[in-house]
A and B are shown apart, each in its own frame.
Chain A
Amino acid sequence: MITKRIIPCLDVRDGRVVKGVNFGGLQDVSSPVELAKFYSDNGADELVFYDITASSDGRKLFTEILTETAANVFIPLTVGGGINTVEDFDRVLKCGADKVSVNSGAIRNPELIREAARLYGDQCVVLSVDIKRVDGVFRVFAKGGRENTGMEAIEWIRRCVGMGAGEIVVNSIDTDGVKGGFDLEMLEAVCRVADVPVIASGGAGKIGDFITLFNTLPKVDAGLAASIFHFGEVKIPDLKAQMAKANIPTRL
């Protein structure tokens, strides 16, 4: 039986790991390479590196850090941030990424998904979606959660899966940074239309939130979080021990 994955997310800017609360107020945490090694040694099942750099200098630094991480960490690496073209896919895959996550790039040009899936396989293409309720409807937000695209989120996900997205990261802006638990209602709606792995993101504050997630929605494949792992509020070995105790398939 496939195990439920626990995925720390590292937002990287100018070579350092940062984490925003509700996408604002960035705080420096640690060296990405050291943090990645730490997580890999402590039971993380996968890592997400998110490049939040805007400058080309920063981008170069990011690929250097990615290369160094991939040379030292032997679990799957997903890379996102600033992925707009297949050349961007190529750039990060050459540095040792296993999967590439697209968000705004796919909103601007949905064909990017089809093209990348054809070149690198569905399993390589991760669709990341920032979703927020607007008047009771799940809407897709772009630009790091700042801009309402007006697109209905569930339909957008269905369309992207049809084009070859092999995995979906559902990031609920409504619960992100609040630490009150994952957005179960939103995730359930996504699970109903997505026959590819679904990764829950946004809202985890404690171990119990992950247990509730996997027990309530068995179709969710993974839980992703950032600051609670970075600041040690949730320790991955403890989390996984509790998951195993709750009979959730877990890699120990």
Chain B
Amino acid sequence: MIAIVDYGVGNLFSLKSSFAAIGVGAMVTNDPMVLCGADKIILPGVGAFEDAARKLRESGLDVVIKQLAADGKPLMGICLGMQMLFEKSFEYGEHEGLGLIKGAVKPIADVIPEDLKIPHIGWNALKFKGDSPLFSKIREGDCVYFVHSFYAADCEESVIATAEYGAELTAAVAKDNVYGCQFHPEKSGAVGLNILRAFAEL
């Protein structure tokens, strides 16, 4: 069973439906006991970093997630949930993240040409870095759906995929049992479902 962490950020309906569509049991929960009992954990998130990080802290689930990740349980952050895995974010100020992966979240505007629109929104192709089990069921060049204005920086050793948008933006990361996708696999059609399937089979 996969536990989707509910800490009051964003709509988890599509994520839950995606797992149902691929025949994988998934449960939306804020119960630490359920997280402990789950095979794997998904950390979702949309909206602003500061607000989400605060909600996660207030729920007390940040401590639980860090412990379970340290124990080796597979964890995948999605979109803002991926950004939360890092040490800190510079989205409107400086905020502390979970610190599970080395790096910091910074504005896309710092690295892309001025004439490109922000947010980076739409379908973009994945360029693989190395060989990750997360991508065992998809091919390099497959497109996934992005919506973000900030990106994970200073994390070269953890990057498993990038997307080209005037710069090579971090698209996915992995460190041991901790994974993260900047894009939305639950909104990326068959390719996205195959990434969730690969995660479920880890």
Is B28 engaged at the interface, CB distance under 8 Å to the other chain? no
Q: Number of A interface residues, CB 8 Å?
A: 30
Q: Report Cα–Cα, A70/B121, bound state, in Å.
A: 20
Is A76 engaged at the interface, CB distance under 8 Å to the other chain? yes
Q: Which of B46, B121, B125, B186 contacts A74 (CB 8 A)?
A: B186
Chain B residues whose CB sits within 8 angstroms of the CB of A3 once the complex forms: 122-125, 143
Closest Cβ of chain A to B42, distance in Å, is: 15
Tell me the chain B residues, 36-84 only, with Cβ under 8 Å from chain A. Answer: 46-48
Across the interface, do A2 and B145 meet the contact criterion of CB distance under 8 Å?
no
Q: Chain A: which residue is nearest B186 at the CB level?
A: A74
Across the interface, do A96 and B188 meet the contact criterion of CB distance under 8 Å?
no
Q: Number of B interface residues, CB 8 Å?
A: 30
Chain A residues whose CB sits within 8 angstroms of the CB of B193 once the complex forms: 74
Closest Cβ of chain B to A99, distance in Å, is: 9
Across the interface, do B119 and A75 meet the contact criterion of CB distance under 8 Å?
no
Q: A93-B11, A96-B14 given as contacts; is B123 within 8 A of A123 (CB)?
A: no
Q: Which of A75, A197, A221 contacts B145 (CB 8 A)?
A: A75
Q: A3-B122, A94-B11 given as contacts; is B46 within 8 A of A121 (CB)?
A: yes
Task: Report A21-51 CB contacts with B as 1/0, cut-off 8 Å.
Answer: 0000000000000000000100001000000
Tell me the chain B residues, 157-202 only, with Cβ under 8 Å from chain A. Answer: 164-165, 186-189, 192-193
Chain A residues whose CB sits within 8 angstroms of the CB of B164 once the complex forms: 1
Is B147 engaged at the interface, CB distance under 8 Å to the other chain? yes
Residues of chain A whose beta carbon lies under 8 Å from any beta carbon of chain B = 1-3, 5, 40, 45, 67, 70-72, 74-76, 93-96, 98, 120-123, 166-167, 195-197, 221-222, 251
User: What would be 19 A-B contacts, judged by CB atoms less than 8 Å apart?
Assistant: A1-B124, A1-B164, A2-B165, A3-B122, A5-B122, A74-B21, A74-B187, A75-B145, A75-B187, A76-B187, A93-B11, A94-B11, A94-B13, A95-B13, A96-B13, A121-B47, A121-B48, A166-B119, A197-B122
